[in-house]
A = this chain, B = another copy of it.
Amino acid sequence: MSRVTRIPVDDLRAGPLDLDAQTSRHVARVLRLAPGDALVLFDPEHALEATARVVSVERDGVRVVADAPTAARVRAVRQVTLLQAIGKGDKLDAIVRDATELGVTDIVPVETARAVVLLGDRAADRVARWRRIAIQAARQSGRGDAPRVHLPRSWGDAVADARPAGTLALCAWEDAEAPIGPLLQGLRPEQPVVLAVGSEGGLTAAEAAEAAAAGFHLVSLGPFILRTETAPAAVLGALLLLTCE
């Protein structure tokens, strides 16, 4: 299936635009676009997109000319924030990719008692990496926006700040008894959702209590123990597909 080539750019405006070095290499060497070829530019931060045409392919860069940007056609319809405890290794990479495909709008990496803690430069590097992954996942899934990836926060701060009025706040906890099903079925169209998920080791009882005190529903995701990467995919998948009417 041939699809239109979609290229993410910052600050999309009508007129000539020089793609950055990495994107230029991708366009010239992998996609092998040539002068005259059509593509779509999208600005994931502002959810804008524009048709464009390649005007020159040089050793040091690709220049395109963009038409007037319009609001991105395909974008998240519901505000869904994922508060995700930071797992080991590259687990959060996969979670960011899946969550982007499944329509999340904000991702907040959180530090819990049993999660990995990232300090200083390492946190900034990882957040930059997750933002790149989110933009690429948006490109591949045809989304014209991309989720915002926030700086890591402590569990307490993240759950305390997560609930504007009217939001359905869910905290997946393996010791919870209330099933998530009825809450999902009672969700109103366009009602914002916040979902909090622990890391491999789960959440402590104290962390679950903090979430409950902040207004989160502590919910069971069913009889099976889900990995930290499967849990958000299951919930975000359910939210996406139920919204899909």
- Residues on A lying within 8 angstroms of B by beta carbon are 1, 74-75, 77, 98, 101-103, 140-143, 179-182, 184-185, 201-202, 220-227, 230, 233-238, 240-245
A202-B233 contact given A142-B223, A222-B241, A241-B181, CB 8 Å threshold: no
Chain B residues with CB under 8 Å of A184's CB are 241-242
Q: How far in angstroms is the closest Cβ of chain B from A144?
A: 10
Within 8 Å CB of A242, what residues of B? 181, 184-185, 238, 242
A223: chain B residues within 8 A (beta carbon) = 74-75, 77, 142-143, 244
Taking a contact as CB atoms under 8 Å apart, the answer to whether B181 and A226 are in contact is no
Q: How far is the CB of A91 from chain B (nearest CB, A)?
A: 13
Give complex CA distance A222, B74 in Å: 10
Question: Are A224 and B142 in contact, CB atoms less than 8 angstroms apart?
Answer: yes
Q: Complex formed: what's the CA distance from A105 to B182 in Å?
A: 23
A227 to chain B: which residues have CB within 8 Å? 101, 140-141
Separation in Å of the A225 CB from the closest CB of chain B?
5
Decide: A226 and B141 in contact? CB cutoff 8 A. yes
Query: In the complex, are the beta carbons of B222 and A244 less than 8 A apart?
Result: yes
Contacting residues, chain B, for A238 (C-beta < 8 A): 234, 237-238, 241-242
Q: Is the CB of A140 within 8 A of B225?
A: yes
The answer to whether B224 touches A74 (Cβ under 8 A) is yes
Instruction: Give 7 closest A-B pairs by Cβ, nearest first.
Output: A234-B237, A238-B238, A237-B237, A222-B244, A141-B224, A179-B244, A181-B245
Which residues of chain B have C-beta atoms less than 8 A from A103's C-beta? 222, 224
Q: Which residues of chain B have C-beta atoms less than 8 A from A233's C-beta? A: 98, 230, 233-234, 237
Q: Give Cα A120 to B3, complex, Å.
A: 35
Cα–Cα, bound, A242→B242 (Å): 10
CA–CA, A242 and B180, complex, Å: 7
**Which of A75, A202, A223 has the most chain B CB within a 10 Å cutoff?**
A223
- Kindly report which residue of chain B lies nearest to residue A75, judged by CB atoms: B223
Q: Which listed residue (B77, B142, B230) contacts A102, Cβ 8 A?
A: B230
Task: Please name 19 further chain A to chain B contacts, defined as beta carbons within 8 Å, in addition to the given A101-B225, A103-B222, A222-B241, sorted by A numbering.
Answer: A74-B223, A77-B223, A98-B233, A101-B226, A141-B224, A143-B223, A180-B244, A181-B243, A181-B244, A182-B245, A185-B185, A220-B244, A223-B244, A224-B240, A230-B233, A233-B233, A234-B240, A235-B237, A238-B238
Measured between C-beta atoms, what is the minimum distance from A238 to chain B in Å? 4
